[in-house]
Amino acid sequence: MADLELDDVTKVYVENDGNEITAVDEVSLEIDDGEFLVLVGPSGCGKSTTLRMVAGLESITSGEIRLDGEVINDRKPKDRDIAMVFQSYALYPHMTVRENMAFGLEESTTMPDDEIAETVESTAEMLGIDDLLDRKPDDLSGGQQQRVALGRAIVRDPEVFLLDEPLSNLDAKLRAQMRTELQRLQEELTVSTIYVTHDQTEAMTMADKIAILNEGQLQQVGTPLECYHEPANLFVAGFIGEPSMNFFETTREDDRLVHDCFEYDLSRETAAEVGDHSDLVLGIRPEDVELSAGSEGRHSYETVVDVVEPMGNENNVYLTFAGDHDETFVATIDGLQHVEEGESVIAKLPEEAVHVFDRESGRALRNRTLDTESVTDLRI
């Protein structure tokens, strides 16, 4: 167990033609003892490079990585007490599961053979793979190989776990099952963990804390709910949540936001939060758009149903503003509510649920109201 700190960590790759690529740009992060941090962002944003620098597999251009306060920049990977699980599992094909799991301990510790055997067996039992110990990786399913790769990391009893997209080779059902299992394991082992993924659902469902990266730069660090409800900027607002937040480009005129298809009145409070910025983006999550058959009122607009995407528990309803068929936006409604394509409906964008961003910098100027009354506590 350990605290891990990244302090202004930067990685610049220099290509053969001298061209420089800043893969990771002054990233600072703290992973507390036993914490599960998910590093998430689109492909190419610098996640793997960050993880590889922590593991010692990649040199650091500038900045510091500290483990329990001690700088480990120049420590060899095997001396870092950090175990990494790769997307490809990286198992030795000619070795049995038992040998694969024991290998790291044999190579890097002075643990006696009988203790190694015992550790491997108890870890295999914990992961439900104890009946596979004498098989070779080729004779295992993807999910079983994944468990072996995890087991190999767990037997080393490391200070820190680094997991690089460990579930992306599994089918959707197994992935969901392994998500829960990994969380349970991590809680049981209380090892500080950095988990890398491009999948925001994994980030939302697994993390104690999410760190969102884009183009090598850290966008926000927060709990899943903070990042969802209080995004720091347009990038985070659009990246977290499925379907994505709806965005409307608007211009401020007095206390109204003017969009090509509608005008949105701002209350005095919201206007004050927005300040004197004039090019703005209005954002609203699909589940906050309210549909009804009623008449237009404040923040309500006549729309036409373009496409209905039934998900079972809910319907994603794609809408266009009446008289304009270019701009679509989406409302998520209960699966038992019925709307037909081509029908007219009133869509309300309630002011307490809207976000306002500065168009130029992307910064959130106003996030939805999350008063404590709207959070229900279900503990008995």
Number of residues that bind ligand ADP (CB under 6 A): 12
Is residue 12 within 8 Å of 23, Cβ to Cβ? Answer: yes
Counting Cα atoms < 13 Å in the Cβ hemisphere of 131 gives 1
Q: Is 13 a residue that touches ligand ADP (CB under 6 A)? A: yes
Of 23 and 191, which has the nearer Cβ to ligand ADP?
Answer: 23
Q: Is 92 a residue that touches ligand ADP (CB under 6 A)? A: no
Q: Is 372 a residue that touches ligand ADP (CB under 6 A)? A: no
Q: What sign does the dihedral 32-148-44-19 (CA atoms) show?
A: positive
Close Cβ partners of 223 (under 8 Å, ≥ 6 residues apart): 207, 208, 209, 210
Q: Whole-angstrom Cα distance, residue 183 to residue 36?
A: 8
Q: What sign does the dihedral 239-243-245-247 (CA atoms) show?
A: positive
Return the structure tokens found at 352: 């307490």
Which residue stretch of 41-49, 99-107, 224-232, 284-292 sits at the interface with ligand ADP (rule: CB under 6 A)?
41-49
Q: Is 46 a residue that touches ligand ADP (CB under 6 A)? A: yes
Shortest Cβ distance from residue 10 to ligand ADP (Å)?
Answer: 12
Q: Which position among 44, 77, 243, 350 is part of the footprint of ligand ADP (CB under 6 A)? A: 44
∠ CA 69-58-27, rounded to 5°: 55
Shortest Cβ distance from residue 239 to ligand ADP (Å)?
Answer: 13
Shortest Cβ distance from residue 73 to ligand ADP (Å)?
Answer: 18
Shortest Cβ distance from residue 29 to ligand ADP (Å)?
Answer: 15
Of 23 and 356, which has the nearer Cβ to ligand ADP?
Answer: 23
Q: Is 47 a residue that touches ligand ADP (CB under 6 A)? A: yes
Return the structure tokens found at 361: 């910098």
Binding site for ligand ADP (CB under 6 A): 13, 15, 21, 23, 41, 43-49
